[in-house]
Amino acid sequence: MVKRKRFMIILLFVMSALISGCGSNQTFGPTTFPTQATTKTPTLTNTLSTAHVMRDLLPIIQEIGPYNQLYEIRDKLPSEFTSEYSADMLVEWIRQGFETSQSLTDPQRIQYFYGMDFAALISERDNFRPLYQLKADSELQVLRDLQSSIPDNELVIYKMYNEGVIIRTSDVCIGIDIILEPENYSFSDDFADILDGMLYTHSDGDHYDYLSPLITTLEANGKPVILPTDNNTIPIGSVLTNGKIKNLDWTAFRGEHFDLRFSAFYILTVNETRILHSGDNTAWKEFGDSEYAKNLDLFLYKPESMQGSIEEVLQKIPAKIIIPQHLLELGHGTGAYGHDMGYRLNEQVSDASEVIMLQWGEKLTITYPFTIVGYDYTHHLLPELPNDTFDGNTLDGTKWRDISYAGGIVQQDERLILTASNAQTSSSARIESKWRLEGDFDFQVDFQIAEDWDYPVTEHSNGAFLGVIIAGQNYHITRIRSSQEDKFFAWSTTGTLAVNRPATALSGKYRLVRTGTTLSLLFDIGSGWEALATVSVPLDTARVYMGNATVNVMQSVTTYFDNFVINSGSARK
């Protein structure tokens, strides 16, 4: 067997000065993704099991795998899972997963990509709203990263929606097939200030947005916007036109869809790096036989071919790195372009090529000479810490989401008021942050449990808890009451945390502190802070939650929270 050529791949972390410490580098060889995910990550399982509305999905989620299987699974879904809430939670799990992936070869990334396909299935009736929101967020994250400088010896490719990419060096920055979400039209001026030009492959709505002010703004700023027209007097694979944007040379070629409609494709050369962008072209025979197909560094490829197999195309065009494109293009519905199409390329590439799967908002960084490749999901620190005194009578929807179940009620009246229902045997009123904490952190909140909190006849109730979700696992401190005991209790879904201390207090303060990989859970009931427990946790971002709950008992519990304060740390969307 011919050994596949190896590249050194380094995980690059874009770190804010506010975050202590620095990212460690990781080196590894070629990606070897399987074509089907056969095991489930604890992250997904625990997310589903802790979201009670999704418990019935656990047997079904075990079947998650290639996209063609997901389509069959949809008919088995319980009705509550196809709700807007469930899709939102799955997309949030996906978002966190991509952001905390430790390498391009992380097997969990397979689950995140297939999870996107699954989220599309269950949100189709909602017009894929959660995924379009993920797309919109990724555009702003890329914009923020574009506003920083890069070294002279780097070339960066940002993965946008569908076949959209932004290619950037220290001298030039261009976009290809960029489609902004309408809610981000207001940022067109910001993108136009940074981009030196735009190339479009064709005018289909998933590649070219006639309504976008980005196009007119670029043109008004005197920057080129290239949209080639067909010339049916020349063969497929022939040069249509060419040009130059600063020190980047581009050449447009004549191509066509499966249905013979026109689509251009491009070769770009910058800093001695040659990049092929496929557009929607599916006819590669003539081009593959030409000199243009030789010595390519990157091939941004829509995996389709109407002239021979995809394997034959990739053998003829053996770029060093192949990035699958057009995956999960939502306008084509849930029956086309699943992420398994990208993973299958690993079986079809030549030994000289490497397949790298990127998600919206991720970037690929090449350092010259062409030996180092890195990636990062550009992240977005909040300008202000999301402290909350819960003033007024409306929960701040920019900071919190209501994740109550079984009749739990969230209210606000100059403080947060959470009420678990006595009409269900297990009920919870709780909220969860829409933001996440990075690195070391220290936060606290005041709590008060209503005086009428009864001792349950069976099982127990959680009068007030405060916790974090890190890498899909829950860690929290809670005040528990049962028929036999009153106590503070530290608990985790990992099964490694179960510490208690007798207590009768109904009010006080909770505090969670992470230093490195150590999480401390503390309480204060009038005598100063006391540590209940410490536990080892990952360095992943942390999402905050607070609430109350009853377990196998029909009992109403009301809890008040106030003065949520982040004493130290950094927060991001």
Is 421 in the same domain as 285? no
Both 312 and 451 in a single domain? Answer: no
pLDDT of residue 173: 98
* 261 and 406 inside one domain: no
Q: List, in sequence order, every residue forming a beta bridge with 156; answer none if it has no partner.
A: 168, 365
Is the predicted pLDDT of residue 83 greater than 50, yes or no? no
Check whether residue 416 and residue 295 sit in a common domain.
Answer: no
Coil/strand/helix, residue 311: helix
Distance between CA 48 and CA 54 in Å, rounded? 6
Contact 264, 201 (CB under 8 A): yes
Whether 52 maps to a domain, the answer reads no
Note whether residue 311 is domain-resident. Answer: yes
Assess whether 369 and 464 both reside in one domain: no
Q: Is residue 119 part of a domain?
A: no
Strands (E), 336-472: 354-355, 362-367, 372-377, 400-402, 409-412, 416-420, 428-433, 436-449, 460-470
CA atoms within 13 A on the CB side of 361: 22
Which residue's structure tokens are 């790096």? 273
Q: Which CATH number do you get for residue 168?
A: 3.60.15.10
Question: Between residues 365 and 118, which one has the greater pLDDT?
Answer: 365
Q: Are 538 and 458 part of one and the same domain? A: yes
Average pLDDT over residues 425-437: 89
Higher pLDDT, 332 or 493: 493
Query: Is 95 a domain residue?
Result: no
Sheet of 8-9, strands arranged across = 8-9, 372-377, 362-367, 154-159, 165-168, 173-176, 197-199, 225-226
Separation of alpha carbons 538 and 439, rounded Å: 10
pLDDT of residue 107: 62
What's the pLDDT tens digit per position in 5-34? Answer: 333 332 232 222 212 222 222 222 222 222
Residue 345 burial (C-beta neighbours within 10 Å; 0-12, 13-18, 19+) = buried
pLDDT for the residue numbered 334: 54
What pLDDT, in 10s, does the model give residues 487-533?
999 999 888 899 999 999 999 999 999 999 999 999 999 999 999 99
The pTM is what? 0.58
**274 and 373 part of one domain:** yes
| Residue 510 confidence (pLDDT) | 98
Please indicate, yes or no, if residue 352 is contained in any of the structural domains.
no
Q: In terms of domains, do 557 and 437 share one?
A: yes
Q: For residue 57, is it within any domain?
A: no
Whether residues 454 and 536 share a domain: the answer is yes
What are the pLDDT digits (tens) for 387-405? 999 999 999 988 998 888 8
How many domains does the structure of the chain reveal? 2
Q: Which has more confidence, 355 or 573?
A: 355
Give the CATH number of the domain where residue 469 resides. Answer: 2.60.120.200
Give the C-alpha separation, 355 to 345, whole Å: 7
The domain of 283 spans: 127-326+360-377
- Model confidence at 438, pLDDT cuts 50, 70, 90, reads confident
pLDDT tops 80 at residue 57:
no
Domain shared by 428 and 319, yes or no: no
Shared domain for 423 and 321, answered yes or no, is no
Residue 199 placed within a domain: yes
Residues 475 and 562 in one domain: yes
* pLDDT mean across residues, the chain: 80
